[in-house]
């Protein structure tokens, strides 16, 4: 047998062994196929930054046509669910009990000041605990106010004098649907978990069960062992990945404006990084307990918080921005958000893919180096 | 030996089992502290230094003044000034800038003639939340500019003005919202890691059967097994709490007792779920898988980053079995809103029920799940 043929045979044997192991313990298959579907369904619907029907307490101290038109403007907005309250005390009580998110308060001189001096105050209190939600709600309230101002001026037969008008055009996501950017990000988070979980325990398990010793006495080389362990999991992971992309497109109606091939290539690269990370964990830990702990700690929360999936990286302090560079999901999120929403933006796709490639080489290289065929190591 | 002695012995043994291994000790202590610091700074929705390009075709004074107002704001940072339409797309596409402000050549002419002068803003919508917040910052600057311009030129301003006041977090600092959340997040992760594998590991090693044939009753095993999770959770939770108050300077306005009652109930329910997962699992791999499957949704669907009220009704109902959901309300309520026991009652009892049910199931599984 030539050395090449022997190598092929050993590799084939290893891949076959790992594949059988996967098939016999269905939990790996569940991780690769069931988990992305369940998580993406749950999070795709559950994670949203678009507020709808925000409950607002409406306190009108003296009702008339003007207050009615303003309240009507809130009622017509899809963002609000206005609820009338007798007086400010009652509204505040509901506010304290978190029954309403904010209060709109029109005092009894509202109409008089509106018509005579033209400086009628619209008192608004919002719950600022969730600062992001409060800011978004403020924006919606301003929108309602501006619409109403225009209507009011028209009803008075005057032109509303606005010196500068802001004309925003939001590219790539004109409807400002948060799902369009969250779902691609979620794919990155979920795939990080799956990649790491699939492999993080496979080597540690061999050590603990003692089957590593059996592997050691075979002529298999370390490199072949690494490749042999990766191939079946890579195929599984890619299956889960395709499933997720299909769901993003057809279940969540996220547009895919870039090319499918760029997406597949970048995903394959990322899958290898995630698997490599898991493999490295399991090689270093040599103990399923620790491998499991480590993979929970270093995969999920960093991918969730430091990847740019939900929190903008450019707003983080500089030192933290530097740290985000060691989170592989960061690069994949950037690629996915651009490929899905903007198209094949090659400078972004290529630079982030290059970073992923470097990470893949580091993880797999380290895993191979730390992987000893010795008992005492 | 009486019950107390037996429980104590088991509790100490369990604690040693967790802390004995050096790697395991490092995992339990190092990452939570590092993550608290990193996430405390990283997890913010507040935007600053938003990269901006200006395309100003009107060199007049008012146009320059409007531009100066925006570039002078701490939220924006001028990257470049451009002078062609074609320059816009590459800048936005490649994410070099988040927005381009475009003032046409007749901007000041319109402004002076009292016609609405358009200021076009092109925003990268790939992150729609960032786009909306950016728009919000811009609106504030534009409104101020308009009010001042109207006053200087004797124009009628809008007849009614909005006076928006945020309560509890007057400056709308995202950190005040996120950092108390991190207390809950990390406590949950630690507790789940400590308890999620404790039974599965013994089952795999065969020592759990030995434990079952000792004179210990399931309830005693349950208490002993819960002990390390609760103790480590309380210690690390307290540490993170102190960091939130003294390092991140989030104001603590309510009752500390109410907070700790919440933390205790939260830990009980988290330990209950952890032990339940652990006793269901036959192998450690299944234990880890279970811990992950519990942890990930309970973090993402807790209201930590995105509000529960935005979720569809059916997903909102699922969050009722998530203890983190209640603990986050308690944390934020006590920190920012100054809540005390009475206002938080509706958060306490669901956690107590979750704790009782999951602990009971875990105790039952000890004996009834044998293979």
Q: For residue B73, what pLDDT band results from cuts at 50, 70 and 90?
A: very high
pLDDT score for B89? 93
- Tens of pLDDT, residue by residue over A108-157, are 999 999 988 788 999 999 999 999 899 989 989 998 998 999 899 888 88
Q: Are residues A232 and A142 in the same domain?
A: no
Nearest to B47 among A39, A167, A315 (CB): A315
CB contact under 8 A, A180 and B128: yes
CB contact under 8 A, A136 and B46: no
Instruction: Tell me which of A51-60, A281-290, B81-90 is least confident.
Output: A281-290
- The closest alpha carbon to B159, from A18, A353, A159, A372, belongs to A159
Q: For residue B19, what pLDDT band results from cuts at 50, 70 and 90?
A: confident
pLDDT score for A377? 47
A–B: how many Cβ contacts below 8 A? 350
Q: CB–CB of B99/A147 below 8 Å?
A: no
Dihedral sign computed on CA atoms, order B209, B210, B212, B213:
positive
CB contact under 8 A, B116 and A164: yes
Using the Cβ of B309 and the Cβ atoms of chain A, whether some distance falls under 8 Å is answered with yes
> What whole-number percentage of chain A has pLDDT above 90?
44
Determine the distance in angstroms separating the CA of B38 from the nearest CA of chain A, rounded to an integer: 6
Answer CATH for B50-152 from 1.10.10.10, 3.40.1710.10, 3.20.20.30, 2.60.120.260:
3.40.1710.10
Dist CA A352 CA A187 (whole Å): 16
In the stretch 218-237 of chain B, residues with CB closer than 8 A to chain A read: none
In a domain, A162, yes or no: no
| Cα-based torsion angle of the residue sequence B28, B32, B33, B34 in order, rounded to the nearest 10 degrees | 110
Which strand ranges, in their side-by-side order, compose the sheet holding B99-103? A164-171, B117-124, B99-103, B50-56, B76-81
Dist CA A342 CA A172 (whole Å): 6
**Largest alpha-carbon pair distance within chain B?**
95
| Residue of B27, B111, B134, B180 to mutate for A, most A C-beta atoms under 10 A | B27
Q: CB–CB of A124/B163 below 8 Å?
A: yes
In a domain, A98, yes or no: yes
Dist CA A123 CA B161 (whole Å): 9
In a domain, A165, yes or no: no
- The closest alpha carbon to B260, from B169, B160, B340, belongs to B340
User: Is the model's pLDDT at A189 over the cut of 50?
Assistant: yes
Q: Are residues A187 and A122 in the same domain?
A: no
Q: For residue A373, what pLDDT band results from cuts at 50, 70 and 90?
A: low
Beta-carbon neighbour count of residue A332 at 10 Å?
A: 32
Q: Burial letters for B272-283: b for 16+ Cβ neighbours within 10 Å, e otherwise?
A: bbbbbbbbbbeb
Q: A35 to chain B: which residues are within 8 Å by CB?
A: 293
Total residue count of chain A as it appears in this document: 377
Q: Are residues A195 and A212 in the same domain?
A: yes
- Tens of pLDDT, residue by residue over B205-250, are 888 888 888 888 888 888 888 998 999 999 999 999 999 999 999 9
Q: Are residues A224 and A333 in the same domain?
A: yes
Q: CB–CB of B75/B47 below 8 Å?
A: yes
In a domain, A377, yes or no: no
Report the chain A residue with the minimal C-alpha distance to residue B175: A131
Q: Are residues A212 and A101 in the same domain?
A: no
Determine the distance in angstroms separating the CA of B2 from the nearest CA of chain A, rounded to an integer: 32
Q: Are residues A215 and A333 in the same domain?
A: yes
In a domain, A166, yes or no: no
Q: What is the DSSP string of B251-280?
A: ---S-HHHHHHHHHHHHHHHHHHHHHHHHH
Q: Are residues A319 and A239 in the same domain?
A: yes
pLDDT score for A375? 60
Nearest to A121 among B35, B135, B163 (CB): B163
Q: For residue A60, what pLDDT band results from cuts at 50, 70 and 90?
A: very high
| Residue of A54, A171, A210, A341 to mutate for B, most B C-beta atoms under 10 A | A171
Q: For residue B1, what pLDDT band results from cuts at 50, 70 and 90?
A: low
ipTM of the complex, rounded to two decimals:
0.86
User: Is the model's pLDDT at B371 over the cut of 60?
Assistant: no
Chain-centroid distance of CA B124 in Å reads: 25
Residue A60: which domain range?
Answer: 54-155
Using the Cβ of B139 and the Cβ atoms of chain A, whether some distance falls under 8 Å is answered with yes
- Tens of pLDDT, residue by residue over B141-196, are 998 899 899 888 888 778 888 889 999 999 899 999 999 999 999 999 889 888 88
Report the chain B residue with the minimal C-alpha distance to residue A117: B159
Q: Are residues A362 and A244 in the same domain?
A: yes
Domain count, chain A: 2
DSSP state of A77: S
User: Is the model's pLDDT at A80 over the cut of 90?
Assistant: yes
- The residue extents of the domains of chain B are 3-43+173-368, 50-152
Instruction: Tell me which of A218-222, B6-10, B99-103 is least confident.
Output: A218-222
Q: Are residues A81 and A187 in the same domain?
A: no
Instruction: Output the CA–CA distances (angstroms, integers) from residue B241 to B20, B253, B344, in the order listed.
Output: 26, 13, 19
CB contact under 8 A, B286 and A138: no
Q: Are residues A87 and A127 in the same domain?
A: yes
Q: B343 to chain A: which residues are within 8 Å by CB?
A: 96-97
Using the Cβ of B248 and the Cβ atoms of chain A, whether some distance falls under 8 Å is answered with no
Q: For residue A374, what pLDDT band results from cuts at 50, 70 and 90?
A: low
Q: Are residues A202 and A348 in the same domain?
A: yes
| Cα-based torsion angle of the residue sequence A237, A239, A241, A246 in order, rounded to the nearest 10 degrees | -170
With 0-12 / 13-18 / 19 or more C-beta atoms within 10 angstroms meaning exposed / middle / buried, residue A267 is buried
Alpha helices, H only, B43-171: 61-72, 88-93, 107-112, 128-152
Determine the distance in angstroms separating the CA of B209 from the nearest CA of chain A, rounded to an integer: 19
Q: Are residues A237 and A363 in the same domain?
A: yes
Q: Which residue has the higher pLDDT, A195 or B66?
A: B66
CATH number, domain with residue A147: 3.40.1710.10
- Tens of pLDDT, residue by residue over B294-313, are 888 999 899 998 899 889 89
């Amino acid at each position: 047998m030539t050395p090449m043929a022997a190598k092929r045979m050993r590799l084939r044997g290893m891949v076959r062994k790992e594949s059988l192991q996967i098939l016999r313990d269905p939990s790996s298959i569940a991780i690769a196929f069931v988990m992305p579907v369940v998580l993406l369904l749950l999070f795709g619907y559950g994670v949203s930054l678009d507020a709808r029907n925000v409950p607002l307490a409406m306190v009108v101290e003296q009702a008339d046509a003007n207050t009615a038109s303003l309240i009507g403007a809130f009622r017509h907005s899809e963002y609000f669910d206005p609820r009338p309250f007798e007086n400010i005390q009652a509204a505040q009580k509901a506010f304290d009990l978190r029954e309403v998110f904010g209060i709109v308060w029109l005092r009894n001189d509202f109409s008089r000041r509106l018509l005579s001096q033209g400086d009628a105050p619209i008192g608004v209190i919002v719950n600022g605990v969730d600062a992001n939600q409060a800011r978004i709600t403020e924006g919606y309230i301003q929108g309602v106010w501006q619409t109403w101002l225009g209507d009011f001026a028209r009803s008075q037969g005057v032109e509303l004098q606005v010196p500068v008008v802001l004309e925003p055009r939001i590219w790539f996501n004109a409807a400002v649907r948060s799902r369009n950017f969250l779902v691609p990000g979620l794919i990155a988070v979920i795939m990080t978990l799956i990649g790491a979980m699939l492999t993080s325990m496979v080597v540690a398990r061999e050590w603990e069960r003692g089957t590593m010793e059996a592997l050691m006495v075979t002529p298999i080389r370390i490199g072949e062992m690494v490749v042999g362990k990766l191939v079946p999991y890579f195929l599984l992971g890619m299956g889960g990945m395709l499933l997720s992309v299909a769901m993003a497109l057809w279940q969540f109606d996220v547009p895919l404006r870039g090319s499918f091939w760029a997406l597949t290539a970048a995903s394959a690269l990322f899958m290898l990084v995630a698997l490599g990370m898991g493999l490295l964990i399991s090689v270093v830990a040599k103990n399923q307990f620790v491998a499991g702990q480590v993979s929970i700690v270093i995969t999920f929360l960093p991918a969730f918080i430091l990847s740019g999936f939900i929190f903008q990286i450019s707003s983080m302090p500089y030192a933290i921005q530097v740290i985000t560079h060691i989170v592989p999901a960061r690069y994949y999120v950037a690629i996915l958000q651009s490929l899905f929403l903007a198209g094949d933006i090659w400078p972004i796709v290529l630079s982030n893919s290059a970073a992923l490639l470097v990470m893949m080489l580091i993880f797999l290289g380290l895993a191979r180096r730390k992987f000893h065929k010795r008992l005492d190591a | 030996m009486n019950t107390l002695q037996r429980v104590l012995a088991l509790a100490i043994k369990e604690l040693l089992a967790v802390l004995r291994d050096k790697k395991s000790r490092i995992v339990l202590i190092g990452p939570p502290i590092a993550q608290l610091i990193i996430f405390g700074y990283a997890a913010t929705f507040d935007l600053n230094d938003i990269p901006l390009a200006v395309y100003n075709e009107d060199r007049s004074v008012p146009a320059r003044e409007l531009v100066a107002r925006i570039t002078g704001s701490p939220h924006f940072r001028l990257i470049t000034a451009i002078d062609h339409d074609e320059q816009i797309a590459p800048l936005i596409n490649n994410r070099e800038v988040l927005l381009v402000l475009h003032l046409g050549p007749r901007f000041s002419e319109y402004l002076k003639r009292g016609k609405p002068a358009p200021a076009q803003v092109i925003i990268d919508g790939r992150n729609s939340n960032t786009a909306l917040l950016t728009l919000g910052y811009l609106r504030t600057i534009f409104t101020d500019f308009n009010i001042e311009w109207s006053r200087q030129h004797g124009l009628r301003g809008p007849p009614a003005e909005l006076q928006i006041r945020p309560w509890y977090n007057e400056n709308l600092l995202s950190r005040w919202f996120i950092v108390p959340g991190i207390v809950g997040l990390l406590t949950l992760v630690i507790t789940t890691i400590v308890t999620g594998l404790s039974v599965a590991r013994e089952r795999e090693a065969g020592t759990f059967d030995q434990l079952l044939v000792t004179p210990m009753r399931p309830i005693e095993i349950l208490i002993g097994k819960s002990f390390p999770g609760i103790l480590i959770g309380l210690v690390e939770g307290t540490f993170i709490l102190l960091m939130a108050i003294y390092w991140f300077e989030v104001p603590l306005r309510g009752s500390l007792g109410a907070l700790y009652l919440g933390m205790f109930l939260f830990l009980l329910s988290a330990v209950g779920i952890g032990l339940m997962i652990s006793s269901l699992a036959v192998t450690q791999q299944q234990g880890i898988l279970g811990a992950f499957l519990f942890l990930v949704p309970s973090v993402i669907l807790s209201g930590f980053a995105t509000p529960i009220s935005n979720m569809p009704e059916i997903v909102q109902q699922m969050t009722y079995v998530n203890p983190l959901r209640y603990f986050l309300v308690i944390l934020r309520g006590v920190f920012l809103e100054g809540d005390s026991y009475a206002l938080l009652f509706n958060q306490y009892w669901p956690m107590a029920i979750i704790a009782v049910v999951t602990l009971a199931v875990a105790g039952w599984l000890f004996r009834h799940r044998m293979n």
